[in-house]
């Protein structure tokens, strides 16, 4: 189970552009059917497009913008989204929310005696923990944090066990 985020931004952009085009066409068609002067004059647009040459600057810029927008939307559709559910060992349908997973590991690191603040970044293969301490001597603190995070990882039991790296920084130098 590897649920991924939805593509809401590219889908919303595409839907918005298509909706704007449909609304413009519908309004122009209704105005023409009711005998009013349409906002969008088809003849003027057709004449402007017909008179434009590919060597002119405006058609080249519009074409480049449309091609770029298409490539960006294609890129956004093909790249996988961020994983929202972390697969766990055992049942293939079991999983943990990645936000809760990160919070649990951060709490384990912050719960170690002497840690003032813990920051954590997770990846599929590595968990990086950065801790700050007010201690002047940081001997053994990295090992204690690593042990606490690995113990929490044993409890959570992700399907792929990441390596844990810890970096300790003292907030105050020598007192």
Q: What's the whole-model pTM score?
A: 0.61
pLDDT digits (tens, 9 = 90+) for 51-106: 888 888 988 898 999 999 889 888 887 887 777 888 888 777 788 888 899 999 99
Please give the Cα distance from 128 to 119 (Å, whole number).
8
Instruction: Kindly list the structural domains of the chain, giving each domain's residue range(s) and its CATH number in brackets, ordered by start.
Output: 8-78 (no CATH), 85-170 (3.30.70)
Instruction: Extract the tokens encoding 39.
Output: 């906002």
Evaluate if residue 174 carries a pLDDT over 80.
Answer: no
Neighbouring residues of 95: CB distance < 8 A, sequence distance ≥ 6: 1, 2, 3, 85, 86, 87, 88
């Amino acid at each position: 189970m590897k649920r991924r985020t939805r593509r809401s931004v590219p889908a919303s952009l595409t839907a918005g552009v298509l909706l704007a085009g449909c609304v413009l066409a519908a309004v122009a068609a209704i105005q023409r059917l009711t005998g009013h002067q349409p906002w969008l004059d088809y003849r003027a647009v057709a004449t402007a497009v017909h008179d434009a040459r590919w060597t002119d600057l405006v058609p080249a810029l519009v074409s480049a913008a449309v091609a770029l927008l298409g490539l960006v939307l294609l890129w956004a559709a093909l790249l996988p989204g961020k994983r929202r559910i972390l697969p766990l060992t055992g049942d293939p349908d079991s999983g943990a929310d990645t936000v809760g997973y990160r919070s649990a590991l951060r709490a384990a690191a912050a719960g170690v005696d002497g840690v003032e603040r813990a920051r954590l970044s997770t990846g599929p293969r590595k968990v990086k923990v950065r801790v700050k301490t007010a201690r002047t001597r940081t001997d053994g603190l990295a090992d204690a944090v690593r042990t606490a995070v690995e113990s929490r990882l044993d409890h959570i039991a992700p399907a792929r066990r990441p390596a844990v790296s810890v970096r300790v920084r003292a907030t105050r130098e020598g007192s």
